Amino acid sequence: VKEVKIREIGEFGLIDKLTGRLGPGDDSVVVGIGDDAAVTAYAPGAQIVTTTDMLVEGVHFRTDTIDDRSLGYKSLAVSISDIAAMGGVPRHAVISLAIPVEMDVERLEDLYAGVADICAEYGTTVVGGDITKTSGPFVISVTLLGEIEAGRALLRSGAQPGDLLFVTGTVGGSAAGLDYLEHGQTYMEASEVVESAPDLLQFHQRPRPQVAAGRLLLESSACTSLNDVSDGLASECNEIAKMSGVRLELDASKLPLHTSVRRYATLRGVDPVQWALFGGEDYQLVGTMKRTDAERTEALFAKNGLALTVIGTVAAVEEQSVGVTLLYNGQAHELKPKGYNHFG
């Protein structure tokens, strides 16, 4: 494989190579890549949902646990998930890269192939970006614009006593996948690993943001608060509790765990609940809904081929103190955020 150093093709040559991998987008792209700024159009009366994430090699990803194409996919997945967690539709992205000077162009082309993959999957278009060199690690900065019906954004702050706590899909899979990438080779011969590996890799390397689930929750008006699982359920539930001023009770026995995750956890001799609570990067949605809406919401999800599981409650008013109670093996514990502190 011929490796081309970036300095040989220059900044503009690199931009051409990378943007050549991307689609032109739909009619909403009035001015795309190439002018001072992009111009985009939205539905009449829509509001804009904006999120931004910065990923640094060695902090957020390592080349030994994710390939470049999956990294491109996941870099946008992180932001798409934030839009999903507001109930919005992801539309237009800008991507900036700080590139170590000796990096191979081919790595960046693979990254953009992954970006193109997820953009095609979610109807999102890259409309701009910036590239620069750096003497430090590779940095990827993504900003994503979504659209949402005016005044309808789903916030973290609306949970009410008596509501039910739910999560979409399954959780703990990304942490299980990372564990497999770090320790899995020891068990390569085990049939549990042979069967589970593709799922575990997908959960960690190509997590699928829950845009459709977010839209169902917005359209059905069933949701009183919503967050996405980027830092683990412990951290995300505490965010909802804090922003809503309530106490959540999370029943560990109800957590939806994928068969492959359970199987691999058994082999590893660990409790997969730990992965679900503290692992993060599952990019599912966790939120609350009125108890009276539960049945029809579960039916709505089932009808749309999506999973939604009730995993707890918002405590009654008389028990209120802000935080999260974890019910685990019949005991009640205070569930601390243990969110990932980049500077800790």
Among the listed residues 277, 281, 291, the one whose alpha carbon sits nearest the alpha carbon of residue 235: 277
- Binders in 99-118 for a copy of itself, by CB under 8 A: 99, 101
Contact status: 135 vs a copy of itself (CB under 8 A): yes
User: Tokens 């689609």 appear where?
Assistant: 23
Selected range binding a copy of itself among 16-24, 125-133, 264-272, 305-313, rule: CB under 8 A: 125-133
Residue 68 or 228: the one with the smaller Cβ distance to a copy of itself is: 228
- Binders in 153-212 for a copy of itself, by CB under 8 A: 153, 155-157
- Strand order from edge to edge, sheet including 164-168: 223-228, 285-289, 164-168, 308-314, 247-251, 323-328, 331-334
SS3 180: helix
Shortest CB 168 distance to a copy of itself, Å: 14
Burial of 149 per CB tally in 10 Å (0-12, 13-18, 19+): middle
Burial of 5 per CB tally in 10 Å (0-12, 13-18, 19+): exposed
- Binders in 217-246 for a copy of itself, by CB under 8 A: 226-228, 243
CA 6 to chain CA mean position, Å: 30
Shortest CB 97 distance to a copy of itself, Å: 8
Residue 92 or 263: the one with the smaller Cβ distance to a copy of itself is: 92
Contact status: 309 vs a copy of itself (CB under 8 A): no
- Binders in 37-96 for a copy of itself, by CB under 8 A: 37-42, 44-45, 47-56, 58-60, 82-83, 85-86, 88, 92, 94-96
SS3 223: strand
Shortest CB 303 distance to a copy of itself, Å: 26
Contact status, residue 138 vs residue 98, Cβ threshold 8 Å = yes
Contact status: 249 vs a copy of itself (CB under 8 A): no
Residue 51 or 170: the one with the smaller Cβ distance to a copy of itself is: 51
Contact status: 12 vs a copy of itself (CB under 8 A): yes
Angle subtended by helix axes 68-84 and 191-205, to nearest 10: 60
Length of the chain measured in residues: 344
Among 97, 200, 311, 335, binds a copy of itself (CB under 8 A): 97
